[in-house]
């Protein structure tokens, strides 16, 4: 485990809260301090930490890998930040993108043509972990002259078969 400033701050807050709770049970300060010291790690790792993970939308970020992208489509959101910031896909041709990411999952709709736009490919990135996250992450690649010129992340409402 890596000791960070956030961990120390949350542990201190947890200690103070546990101390105040235990103080209501027994007025002896030395005993209250020892019991609070022993209970703080347990309370933190079995109560506070799980709640932080449920209500925050933190997730691991990984460097882009074509193998991970194609083998684990539900975890693509972990690779998206690296793809955007490194601009690894910008300037690549459609055939290069197809070899890296696979065939597009859907095409964007073009209202002017009333048809799908073959120059806007979309890929699903999966659902980011979180308690109240109901939208799936998506990536849209825009092509001009057969080369990627723009990457755009957007969220789309998750639809289930039973809702139709």
pLDDT tens per residue, range 42-101: 999 999 988 887 777 666 778 888 888 888 888 888 888 888 888 888 999 999 999 988
Q: Phi then psi for 59, rounded to 5 degrees?
A: -145, 160
CB 69 within 8 A of CB 76: yes
Number of H helices, E strands in the chain: 6, 4
- 25 in Cβ contact with 39 (< 8 Å): no
**Alpha carbon distance 77, 79 (integer Å):** 5
How many Cβ atoms are within 10 Å of 21's Cβ, its own excluded?
14
- Structural domains of the chain, with CATH: 5-55 (no CATH), 66-163 (3.30.1450.10)
Say how far apart CA 16 and CA 23 lie, in whole Å: 10
The three state secondary structure string of 89-121 is CCCCEHHHHHHHHCCCCEEEEECCCCEEEEEEE
Q: What is the pTM of this model?
A: 0.65
C-beta neighbour count of 78 within 10 angstroms: 20
Per-residue pLDDT of 97-140, as tens digits, reads 999 888 888 888 877 778 888 889 999 888 877 777 778 888 99
DSSP string over 2-30: ---HHHHHHHHHHHHHHHHHHHTT---HH
The residue among 21 and 132 whose pLDDT is bigger is: 21
CA distance 121 to 105: 7
The Cα 140–Cα 55 span in angstroms is 28
- With b for 16 or more beta-carbon neighbours within 10 A and e for fewer, the 128-145 pattern comes to beeeeeeebbbbbbebee
């Amino acid at each position: 485990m890596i000791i960070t400033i956030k961990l120390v701050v949350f542990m201190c807050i947890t200690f103070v809260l546990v101390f105040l709770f235990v103080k209501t049970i027994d007025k002896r300060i030395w005993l209250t301090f020892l019991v609070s010291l022993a209970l703080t790690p347990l309370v933190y790792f079995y109560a506070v930490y799980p709640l932080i993970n449920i209500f925050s939308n933190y997730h691991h970020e990984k460097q882009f890998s074509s193998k991970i992208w194609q083998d684990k489509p539900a975890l693509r959101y972990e690779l998206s930040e690296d793809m955007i910031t490194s601009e690894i896909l910008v300037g690549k041709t459609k055939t290069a993108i197809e070899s890296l990411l696979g065939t597009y999952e859907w095409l964007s709709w073009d209202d002017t043509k009333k048809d799908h736009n073959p120059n806007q490919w979309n890929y699903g990135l999966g659902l980011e972990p979180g308690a109240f996250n109901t939208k799936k992450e998506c990536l849209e690649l825009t092509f001009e002259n057969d080369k990627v010129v723009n990457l755009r992340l957007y969220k789309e409402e998750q639809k289930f078969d039973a809702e139709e």
